[in-house]
Amino acid sequence: MAQESLNDEIKWLEERLSAKKTELLESGESKAEKEVVKDILKETALLPPPPNLQTTPLPCDDVVKKAQELEEKEHSQIVETLVADALKNGVIHAINIAEKMKNPHILDDFHDTLADKYYQKLLESRNIKQ
Q: What is the 3 state secondary structure string of 4-60? A: HHHHHHHHHHHHHHHHHHHHHHHHCCCCCHHHHHHHHHHHHCCCCCCHHHCCCCCCH
Q: Give the separation between CA 81 and CA 94, rounded to whole angstroms.
A: 9
pLDDT of residue 48: 57
Q: Give the separation between CA 19 and CA 29, rounded to whole angstroms.
A: 14
Q: Is the pLDDT of residue 74 over 70?
A: yes
The single-letter DSSP state of residue 90 is -
Cα angle 84, 69, 114; round to 5 = 25
96, amino acid identity = N
Q: Give the separation between CA 15 and CA 26, rounded to whole angstroms.
A: 17
Q: Is the pLDDT of residue 128 over 60?
A: yes
Report whether 9 contacts 53 (CB < 8 A): yes
> Model's pTM, two decimal places?
0.74
Q: Is the pLDDT of residue 87 over 70?
A: yes
Q: Is the pLDDT of residue 8 over 90?
A: no
Element (H, E) at 91: helix 91-100
Report whether 102 contacts 113 (CB < 8 A): no
The 10s digit of each residue's pLDDT in 36-66 is: 998 888 887 666 555 555 455 555 677 778 8
